[in-house]
Amino acid sequence: MRSRILDLTYTEWKESGFSKGTLHELKKKARSEEPFNVYGKVKERIAACSSS
């Protein structure tokens, strides 16, 4: 999940309907070594981005 979040581009993210701030916060959390939570809707959209 971390690597997928870090590989997402802003364009892919914007097409899935999220704001730039959400992507920024997710990437910041993914870069850290600590565990983090990703909400259900966000997980679904990340999966949808990776399948396209």
The model's pLDDT over 2-40, given as tens digits with 9 standing for 90+, comes to: 999 999 888 888 888 888 898 899 999 999 999 999 999
Torsional sign, CA 38, 8, 51, 41 = positive
How far apart, in whole angstroms, are the C-alpha atoms of residue 10 and residue 27?
11
pTM over 0.75: yes
pLDDT category, 1, cuts 50, 70, 90? Answer: confident
* Greater model confidence, 48 or 36: 36
Residue 25 pLDDT: 93
Residue 52 pLDDT: 56
